[in-house]
Amino acid sequence: MDNIPNRKKNLVKRIAVSSKKQITIPKDFYEQLGIGNEVLIELADNKLIIHPIHEDHFDFSDLILKDLIEEGYTGEELYKEFVYRKSQIAPAFNAMISEERPKAKTYTADTLEELFGEDDEQ
């Protein structure tokens, strides 16, 4: 199988777990994935999967620009208001996450079965 052309090999590193149950992401992994201040971590098939979060997934520039034009902004005013409103997106998301995080429920295999299992009512 190792002779398959264009097959990428997985990068694997052994890392330590601290006394506080923390791990350090190796620098080359961190840089290659473009990891910022947060990641999503998933437990699947008895494995931990770490997903980088890229803030650019939430780019509403086109919608902001459309609203500003409809509101009558032009020229330098349009540019300044666009920059301001775009800068308000991340803080708004962070506030929403902070408000909702305490309400979040941790699901186990049993509760996921309840959530996604077959409906008895047909």
The CA distance from 62 to 101, in Å, is 29
The number of beta carbons lying within 10 Å of the beta carbon of residue 119 is 5
pLDDT tens for 23-36 read 999 998 888 888 88
pLDDT tens for 56-66 read 556 788 889 99
Helices (H), the chain: 27-33, 61-70, 75-87, 89-100, 109-116
Domains of the chain: 12-53 (2.10.260), 55-117 (no CATH)
pTM for the model stands at 0.40
pLDDT tens for 66-83 read 999 999 999 999 999 999
Length of the chain: 122
